[in-house]
Amino acid sequence: MIVPVVMAGGSGTRLWPMSRSLYPKQFLPLVNQTSMLQDTCARLDGMESAAPLVICGEDHRFTVAEQLRELDARQAGRIVLEPAGRNTAPAVALAALQATAGGDNDPLLLVLAADHVITDVSAFQTSVEAAIAHAQTGKLVTFGIVPTGPETGYGYIRQGEDLGGAYRVAEFVEKPNLETAEKYLASGDFAWNSGMFLFKAGRYLEELKAHRPDILAACQEAMAQASVDADFVRPDKDAFLNCPDDSIDYAVMEKTSDAVVVPMDCGWSDVGSWSALWEVSPKDGNGNALRGDIITYDTHNCFVRSDSKLVATVGLKDIVVVESDDAIMVAAKDRVQEVKRIVEALKKESRSEAQLHRKVYRPWGFYDSIDNGERFQVKRIVVKPGGKLSLQMHHHRAEHWIVVSGTAKVTRGEETFLVSENESTYIPLGVKHRLENPGTIALEMIEVQSGSYLGEDDIVRFEDTYGRG
């Protein structure tokens, strides 16, 4: 049985303003109507595989759980929370230890990134099936993407001896310049390094012990002291913080004598920039990739995306325009790698646009900050059926709640009462309160905050269903 291991960490800064640190690209519907994480899990449909084991950070745990729930793919203990980012070698070690815990089970791990685009799912599955026989014999398989051009943004794998459906890995090489990439392409001996792998969990741990015992020891200690909380497995933080930072390639694949590469020709892209997304997106007769409410005139080879407003373009060529609910980004298509400089500037100025969207997802639902000004803020709040906000209070603001649809169960001080559609209530400053949805349909309401300070850090939590501090 294959256990898919989906790596869902990372912040995707080059896809700002859509991708932000608390809601990065792997959770966004960048290519179709489902998120990239959901696409990654869905392309396993039809294969003999277990439920996915997802590796992510604490900040993204509820987003992962909700997106897996929507796919009906969530199972207890299948989300491992990295206490800190330590690159892919430790992350996969945590997954291997979790997958082999509690028995003699030694499954095949199919290691996937949550933020890749694959347009030919059948070809993807065919390559995985071809790799199984090699992985079963103890080989560590990586998948080499059949190159479609002299790409300088990817690392490469040089193929060695033909093993029948796979090749011995002769060499991993770093991102080349254009001249070198053209030589690689002409030789026919090179594939793009996809960052996807298939191997037995035990074999990976053996190789890690041989080449990076310090990483293995830290991960073993972290998992030995791990705690389980509902959907989540939490490795011990102190132990894991002692773990070195290293990638699978450097820690294991470049050192083992058992690395093989299986070719994969599946319409793959790691979507590392807006220009990469333009390449894999459907285009109109002028080469434009358009999504949202867009009108173009004399516009060619552009990527234009709008999430909330009409965007009109005139006389543009090779330009990227991305509109979100609180920001607009315009860049030359050949300079989109530099979008990360904008994110760096936002972080330097401590601006919220680096971390959050206007719509912020929470385990109970979401809120959308629709207006704000001097001493006031207006939010649209949607609470899922059964959702419950924390019991909390604020030092600096009062709140007015107006129910638009559904029914709210409100705790205010010592009293608890229901507020129905078209009714409202008031939460004075300094009073403990809680909002719940006891119904079977979503609760939608408008919250008007007023006070001297309206930041999200003016929340004192006394009790929380979701274990937040």
pTM: 0.89
Residues 444-463: what's their mean pLDDT? 92
Contact 86, 93 (CB under 8 A): no
pLDDT tens digits for range 261-307: 999 999 999 898 999 999 999 999 999 999 999 999 999 999 999 99
Q: Which of 87, 108, 104, 93 is nearest to 223 (CA)?
A: 93
pLDDT tens digits for range 84-107: 999 999 999 999 999 998 776 899
The proportion of the chain whose per-residue pLDDT surpasses 70, expressed as a percent, equals 98
pLDDT tens digits for range 357-367: 988 888 999 99
Residues 385-405: what's their mean pLDDT? 96
Residues 337-363: what's their mean pLDDT? 93
pLDDT tens digits for range 211-243: 999 999 999 999 999 999 878 999 999 999 999
Residues 347-364: what's their mean pLDDT? 91
User: Lowest-pLDDT range, 14-18, 149-153, 164-168, 321-325?
Assistant: 149-153
Q: Where are the domains of the chain?
A: 2-269, 276-343, 359-463
What's the confidence (pLDDT) of residue 40?
A: 95
| Residue 341: band (very low, low, confident or very high) from pLDDT cuts 50, 70, 90 | very high
Q: Is 408 left (phi over 0), alpha (psi -120 to 50) or beta?
A: beta
User: Lowest-pLDDT range, 73-82, 86-95, 179-188, 215-224?
Assistant: 73-82
Give the architecture-level CATH label for domain 2-269.
Answer: Alpha-Beta Complex (3.90)
Residues 103-132: what's their mean pLDDT? 94
What's the confidence (pLDDT) of residue 469?
A: 61
13 vs 25: CA distance, rounded Å = 9
| Residue 12: band (very low, low, confident or very high) from pLDDT cuts 50, 70, 90 | confident
User: Lowest-pLDDT range, 61-70, 141-150, 333-342?
Assistant: 61-70
Residues 319-336: what's their mean pLDDT? 96
Residues 192-206: what's their mean pLDDT? 97
pLDDT tens digits for range 39-59: 999 999 999 999 899 999 998
- Any idea what the Cα angle at residue 48 is, between residues 47 and 52, rounded to 5°? 85
Residues 143-171: what's their mean pLDDT? 94
Tokens of 161: 């001896």
Position 465 pLDDT exceeds 90: no
What's the confidence (pLDDT) of residue 105?
A: 83
What's the confidence (pLDDT) of residue 230?
A: 75
Give the architecture-level CATH label for domain 359-463.
Answer: Sandwich (2.60)
